[in-house]
Structure 1
Amino acid sequence: ALKLSPKNTDVLVALGLVVGSSQRFDEADHLFDRALAIKPALLDARLGKIRLAIWQGETPRARALTDGVLATAPDNVEALDLDGRIALLEADYTRAGRSFQRALALEPRNAEALVGIGDVRRAEGDDEAARQAYHQALALQPGSADVEQRLAVPPPRNWRLDLGSEVSDLTNGLGDWTDSSAGIAYRLSPRTTISGHARLATRFGHTDVQMEGRIDQAFTPTFSAYALAAVTPDADFLARYSIGAGVSWQVLAPAKAFGPFSLNIDTRYDNFADTSVTSIQPWVQACILDGRLGLSARWVHAEDDTGTVADGYVLRADLAVTERFNFFAGYADAPEIDDGALVPTRTVFGGISFEVSDPLTLRASIAHEERPTFDRNIFGLGLTARF
């Protein structure tokens, strides 16, 4: 059709959408530009460039283009739908809901707006209301694979149970250490999770029980933080109390070849009977191979209240071998905080996790640790259940 009518803007836009949905982004952008060269104010071509920016993950560019269209065509239903979709990517659920509701008011049989309303409600944690919107959209578009896929998503599991146990074999006839833990977490909202954690550890005939509380908060899709506090009554070797906090910032969004890439930092203060230790651990994480391989590097800096300083690093790789089977391995040359002392330690570690079913994951790990006075072999098992 384009060969027969090279300046047919309808054909140029239609072809741009086809090749754009096939991820031939440069070719699609060129077709939209050709249409705009013929008709500079052509709304369909401008909307096509917005969709192209969304497909490419360029949310700021999509926002700027959409604001430009809405400034001249505030009641354009397609532009409102796209505005809602971009607001969802920005985690601005108030604006997203307002745009989809306005589009639906202008066009009551707009299935795309109903799907968008469902997506907003799901993002806000109201799965039942989301399903109601999806069913309304499906009534307008029977057999829609896009809507049926959303309805097939199981209801969210807001509870998570983590159980784990480690046994350490010490050289030089020093016996065994054990370290067991149980944690329960509840997702208050899609952005907020609270959790509690209990730890039972034994060393050289002494037993400590530590209790920890933690809150995780995602402020935006790319920035999150956490805070924790822990206490050990009648502590023999663990910290009497601890406080910690950390942040994570995703500086690059996921892409086909590379990403996401995040900058992180963890901080902690541990108070022992005879001393206290402050540690700071900035670290970076990057994913490649469509996100299947994650690589992280962590710098460890620790200092006690006498001014003794120790530094080190931890390197780790996580590989998703299959959808259910994951493997990790790493090496650390970093100080270990042991009863308030900063002990230089070298560790090689690795492990696997297997998703038995959607709610149940099993884990196993092994590590070899070298200290100045003894070596330590660590064997661990654990599970995670979601409900």
Structure 2
Amino acid sequence: MTPSALKSFIIALSLTFTLAETALANQVNDRAMELAGQQKFDEALVLLSQQDSALVTGYEHRFLKARILSWAGKYAQAESVLNSLIAEDPDNPDLRLAMGNLNYYQGRLKEAERDYQQVLKDYPDYQDARNGLANVRKAQDAAQRDLGFAGDHVWRIDGGVGLSDFDRDDIPEWDDQFLRVEYSPHSLAYHGSAQRYKRFGITDIEFKAGIADAVRGGWDWGLEAGFTPNATFRPDFNFGGRLGRAIQTQKGTTFYPQLTYSYDDYAAGVIHNIQPGLTSYLDNGLVLSGRLIATLQEAEKDQLGWLIEGRAPIADRWQIRAGYANAPEAIDGIAITTKSFFGGLTYMVSDDLDLHLNLARDDREDSFVRTSGNVGFTYKR
């Protein structure tokens, strides 16, 4: 064999091995994707790890590994791989999209929004990035509505009136009215409220003010304080706070775990209220939530209860809510276990105006049964 023929043979043989190796790598990648589609993420990652060492350092292997790690919820590992790839190729839109998806799954909505917008700046027709950005906006809007934020509106006004009746003739009817105004010009929302309570033939008026995070990202917080001048059955002073985090899953469900705390200083003593909870936003508009309710009070036994609630759209512009609670309720500085059935309807008159009707039946242990109704409104501009 001549040197020229030998050289051609070696090149052809090398090309054959390369094509075979590429075909085998593609088969492994396809099988790993198939396993990931079956949510067998660990098996898919093990299969990838068994590839030739030369392939393990390649782009295709590392990108696929990052995606599967992300789907498996191994976010720190996925982020590490993606960051190394982006450092090598910072203008790659696929990598930036994958980072946006990773931030979205973790509920880091501000970061995800930034990643998707960066992709669309250079590739405005990249449909996956447009879909990702739409999902971010949907998650932000859902959380804003649940927490009472104004969304794209700067002002929000809530008001309502309520009336309660009792199964015992010796307890006079209760009534209450409230008005709450919120202003959210930028990243913070400021609010103030006044509520008039008439109970036991006596009237208390409570004033509150607070501040909260108005831009929905991963973390959420809020602070509020209030007082009641010459209080009789309401707390003389109270303050509280909220801390939560939105977590977005690959399937589109948003989970929002949160913890709230309040300190109520009554004439009869101080009550601490602690409520860890979880809210789930599903794709079909259904919202499910539950929380534990614990009260700690001076000279009284600590109590623990719970509450569950669901909301769902039932027709165009209509939403229904219903729930049940078996938890301590503080009235006149004394927390007593109360079993409550409650529900309501919301009619969205327009993008700016909602009307609400709420009903409840409370069975306060060894005390009374109360039936209450409330009509209210929400106006945004």
TM-score between the two structures when normalised by the length of structure 1: 0.69
State which of 302, 307, 326 in structure 2 corresponds to 1:315: 307
What residue number does 2:372 align with?
A: 378
Residues 312 and 92 from structure 1, CA distance in 2 versus in 1: closer, same or farther, beyond 3 angstroms? closer
State which of 141, 153, 159 in structure 1 corresponds to 2:155: 159
Residues 96 and 222 from structure 1, CA distance in 2 versus in 1: closer, same or farther, beyond 3 angstroms? closer
- What is the aligned length? 341
Whether the aligned pair in 2 keeps the contact of 1:269 and 1:276 (CA below 8 Å) is: no
What residue number does 1:41 align with?
A: 57
Residues 221 and 302 from structure 1, CA distance in 2 versus in 1: closer, same or farther, beyond 3 angstroms? same
State which of 116, 119, 122 in structure 1 corresponds to 2:118: 116
Q: CA deviation at 1:368?
A: 1.1
Q: CA deviation at 1:288?
A: 7.9
> Is 2:356 the counterpart of 1:363?
yes
> Is 2:169 the counterpart of 1:175?
no
Map Cα deviations across residues 253-297 of structure 1 (whole Å, 9 max, x no partner): 4353976262x333222223x333222223332538657251413
Map Cα deviations across residues 57-83 of structure 1 (whole Å, 9 max, x no partner): 653233111133245x25553476358
State which of 58, 63, 66 in structure 1 corresponds to 2:79: 63
> Is 2:183 the counterpart of 1:186?
yes
SS at match of 2:62: helix
**Structure number, greater radius of gyration:** 2
Whether the aligned pair in 1 keeps the contact of 2:278 and 2:290 (CA below 8 Å) is: yes
Q: CA deviation at 1:229?
A: 0.6
**Contiguous gaps of at least 5 residues in structure 1:** 101-111, 119-132
Residues 84 and 188 from structure 1, CA distance in 2 versus in 1: closer, same or farther, beyond 3 angstroms? farther
Whether the aligned pair in 2 keeps the contact of 1:318 and 1:326 (CA below 8 Å) is: no
Residues 44 and 334 from structure 1, CA distance in 2 versus in 1: closer, same or farther, beyond 3 angstroms? closer
Whether the aligned pair in 1 keeps the contact of 2:220 and 2:243 (CA below 8 Å) is: yes
Residues 56 and 320 from structure 1, CA distance in 2 versus in 1: closer, same or farther, beyond 3 angstroms? farther
Whether the aligned pair in 2 keeps the contact of 1:69 and 1:79 (CA below 8 Å) is: no
Map Cα deviations across residues 182-224 of structure 1 (whole Å, 9 max, x no partner): 112233544x322211112212333222110112248994443
Measured in 1, the distance between the counterparts of 2:368 and 2:38 equals 59
Q: What does residue range 348-359 of structure 1 map to in structure 2 within 5 Å?
A: 348-359=341-352
SS at match of 2:81: helix
Range 322-331 or range 156-165, more displaced = 322-331
Measured in 2, the distance between the counterparts of 1:78 and 1:258 equals 25
Q: CA deviation at 1:172?
A: 2.6
Aligned-residue identity in percent: 20
Whether the aligned pair in 1 keeps the contact of 2:82 and 2:99 (CA below 8 Å) is: no
Whether the aligned pair in 2 keeps the contact of 1:277 and 1:340 (CA below 8 Å) is: yes
Q: CA deviation at 1:93?
A: 6.5
Measured in 1, the distance between the counterparts of 2:353 and 2:218 equals 27
SS at match of 2:78: helix
Aligned letter for 1:319?
R
SS at match of 2:184: strand
Whether the aligned pair in 2 keeps the contact of 1:267 and 1:278 (CA below 8 Å) is: no
Aligned letter for 1:233?
P
Residues 187 and 51 from structure 1, CA distance in 2 versus in 1: closer, same or farther, beyond 3 angstroms? farther
Whether the aligned pair in 2 keeps the contact of 1:35 and 1:42 (CA below 8 Å) is: no
Q: CA deviation at 1:303?
A: 0.6
Across the aligned residues of Structure 1 and Structure 2, the Cα RMSD in angstroms comes to 4.5
Measured in 1, the distance between the counterparts of 2:377 and 2:80 equals 46
Aligned letter for 2:270?
V
> Is 2:66 the counterpart of 1:50?
yes
Residues 327 and 50 from structure 1, CA distance in 2 versus in 1: closer, same or farther, beyond 3 angstroms? same
Aligned letter for 2:177?
S
What residue number does 1:206 align with?
A: 202
Map Cα deviations across residues 100-137 of structure 1 (whole Å, 9 max, x no partner): 7xxxxxxxxxxx7xx3277xxxxxxxxxxxxxx5xx85
> Is 2:325 the counterpart of 1:332?
yes
Measured in 2, the distance between the counterparts of 1:364 and 1:53 equals 46
SS at match of 1:309: coil
Residues 24 and 346 from structure 1, CA distance in 2 versus in 1: closer, same or farther, beyond 3 angstroms? closer
What residue number does 2:255 align with?
A: 260
Measured in 1, the distance between the counterparts of 2:86 and 2:335 equals 60
SS at match of 1:284: strand
What residue number does 1:287 align with?
A: 280
Whether the aligned pair in 1 keeps the contact of 2:293 and 2:307 (CA below 8 Å) is: no
Aligned letter for 1:269?
Y
Aligned letter for 1:317?
E
